[in-house]
């Protein structure tokens, strides 16, 4: 009975997080418009941060406010799970959508992508994430100053990425579309600023509350199902909080807005390789176990392959993107058949 209750509470935490994410994304887009930001900044940065926020709040709640060994594992699992899921499962879903819509005659089987924009995202992601992996290898004890310096460097790198994106005139035509009505004022064409801010506050509270419940339930469930909190969080957290938000990419490939569809994923990969990792480096010793290293290595491998497929002269196809689902399947096979538990932390 206790297991059933905990599973139900975990499902409730997902629902609260996703509701908060929907309210936040809707409000942050209107907030950007109220500030007079360009459509590229609103779509590529603010909306990307909005969709990444639930996954980011889980490690913040786990590492900063909950604490303890199990909560720390949940936090690290959530940090590493998002780039892994984005570079594998999200690509698979997008590629499969392209193939399905092509079969129905809605579009071509190939994607028309501004390779320069998505390629830039991938280069940022690979550089920052490889740094995070190297710092997390359990080969030596990292001094505090090194972890803090790396955290500051990752945040600075993301600020630079945002600046570069804000200065980029490309892709504006795809992002230039009407915003959905504000959820708290659905009948108004232009909502009041104070209501936009109120929705932002409510959404952040919902995401934080849902994340805290998620962390608690993962730490309770992991010994009951015989899986470490890190692995359980790494697999479940991004599937529940990040992947549903990336179904925007499915809608965009149906509308043949392929750069937006891919940028929605690659932009989130940049964010997830910088800000959540910086939180992990700042607050706790950053030591990755076998499962964490395996997931991170797969994410980097998938990113490198996508970079190769986006080289000039090559046309990316839905089938090639769908292939990335094999990376996700390979990790599940590794966890089931080969994972031997955490690596001892060096002292």
DSSP character string of 89-133: HHHHHHHHHHHHHHHTTSS-SB----HHHHHHHHHHHHHHHHHHH
List, in order, residues 6 or more apart from 321 with CB less than 8 Å away: 91, 92, 94, 95, 96, 98, 111
CB 53 within 8 A of CB 206: no
Please state which of the ranges 181-185, 221-225, 322-326 shows the lowest mean pLDDT: 221-225
Kindly state whether residue 115 falls inside one of the protein's structural domains.
yes
CA distances from 60 to 36, 214, 222, 277 (A): 30, 12, 20, 10
The mean pLDDT value of the chain amounts to 83
Radius of gyration of the chain (CA): 20
CATH number, domain of 115, equals 1.20.1420.30
- The whole-angstrom separation of Cα 311 and Cα 286 is 34
Taking only the tens place, the pLDDT of each residue in 49-96 is 666 777 777 888 888 777 777 788 888 888 888 899 999 999 999 999
pLDDT tier for residue 346 given thresholds of 50, 70 and 90: very low
Q: What is the pLDDT of residue 88?
A: 93
pLDDT tier for residue 345 given thresholds of 50, 70 and 90: very low
List, in order, residues 6 or more apart from 198 with CB less than 8 Å away: 184
Q: What is the pLDDT of residue 192?
A: 93
Taking only the tens place, the pLDDT of each residue in 272-322 is 999 999 988 887 778 888 888 999 999 999 999 999 998 877 789 999 999
- The whole-angstrom separation of Cα 286 and Cα 266 is 24
Taking only the tens place, the pLDDT of each residue in 115-157 is 888 888 999 999 999 999 999 888 777 788 898 999 999 999 9
- The whole-angstrom separation of Cα 164 and Cα 43 is 14
Kindly state whether residue 342 falls inside one of the protein's structural domains.
no
Instruction: For the chain, list the strands marked E by DSSP.
Output: none
Kindly state whether residue 15 falls inside one of the protein's structural domains.
yes
Residue 154 domain boundaries:
2-337
- The whole-angstrom separation of Cα 77 and Cα 294 is 12
Kindly state whether residue 346 falls inside one of the protein's structural domains.
no
For the chain, the distance separating the N- and C-terminal CA atoms, rounded to the nearest angstrom, is: 41
Count of domains forming the chain: 1
Within a 10 A sphere around the Cβ of 4, how many other Cβ atoms?
8
CB 72 within 8 A of CB 63: yes
259-282 mean pLDDT: 87
List, in order, residues 6 or more apart from 83 with CB less than 8 Å away: 125, 129, 269, 272, 273, 296, 299
- The whole-angstrom separation of Cα 280 and Cα 154 is 11
pTM over 0.85: no
Kindly state whether residue 344 falls inside one of the protein's structural domains.
no
Kindly state whether residue 259 falls inside one of the protein's structural domains.
yes
Q: Which two tokens stand for residue 219?
A: 């730490």
213-237 mean pLDDT: 82
Percent of the chain with pLDDT over 70: 87
Of 300 and 237, the structure prediction assigns the larger pLDDT to: 300
Kindly state whether residue 347 falls inside one of the protein's structural domains.
no
214-227 mean pLDDT: 82
| SS3 state at 317 | strand
Q: What is the pLDDT of residue 45?
A: 67
Taking only the tens place, the pLDDT of each residue in 87-123 is 999 999 999 999 999 999 888 998 888 888 888 899 9
CB 299 within 8 A of CB 83: yes
CA distances from 315 to 114, 310, 324 (A): 11, 7, 16
Q: What is the pLDDT of residue 344?
A: 45
């Amino acid at each position: 009975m206790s297991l059933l209750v905990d599973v139900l509470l975990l499902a409730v935490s997902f629902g609260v997080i996703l509701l908060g994410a929907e309210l936040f994304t809707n409000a942050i887009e209107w907030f950007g418009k109220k500030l007079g930001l360009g459509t590229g900044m609103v779509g590529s940065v603010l909306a990307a941060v909005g969709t990444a926020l639930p996954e980011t709040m889980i490690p913040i709640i786990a590492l900063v406010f909950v604490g303890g060994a199990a909560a720390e594992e949940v936090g690290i699992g959530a940090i590493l799970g998002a780039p892994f899921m984005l570079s594998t499962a999200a690509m698979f879903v997008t590629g499969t959508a392209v193939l399905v819509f092509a079969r129905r005659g809605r579009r071509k089987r190939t994607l028309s992508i501004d390779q320069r924009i998505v390629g830039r995202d991938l280069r940022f992601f690979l550089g920052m994430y490889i740094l995070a992996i190297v710092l997390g290898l359990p080969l030596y004890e990292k001094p505090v100053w090194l972890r803090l310096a790396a955290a500051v460097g990752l945040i600075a790198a993301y600020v630079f990425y945002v600046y570069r994106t804000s200065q980029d005139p490309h892709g504006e035509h795809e992002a230039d579309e009407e915003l959905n009505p504000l959820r708290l004022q659905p009948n108004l064409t232009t909502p009041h600023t104070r209501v936009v801010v109120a929705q932002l506050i409510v959404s952040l509270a919902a995401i934080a509350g849902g994340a805290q419940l998620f962390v608690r339930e993962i730490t309770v469930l992991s010994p009951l199902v015989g899986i470490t909190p890190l692995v359980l969080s790494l697999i479940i957290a991004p599937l529940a909080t990040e992947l549903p938000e990336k179904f925007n990419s499915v809608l965009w490939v149906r509308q043949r807005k392929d750069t937006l569809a891919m940028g929605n994923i690659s932009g989130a990969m940049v964010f997830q390789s910088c800000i959540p990792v910086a939180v992990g480096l700042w607050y706790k010793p950053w030591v990755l176990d076998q499962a964490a290293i395996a997931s991170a290595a797969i994410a980097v491998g998938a990113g490198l392959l996508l970079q190769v497929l986006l080289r000039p002269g090559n046309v990316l196809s839905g089938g090639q993107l769908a292939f990335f689902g094999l990376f996700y399947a390979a990790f599940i096979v590794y966890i089931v058949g080969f994972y031997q538990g955490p690596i001892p932390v060096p002292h």
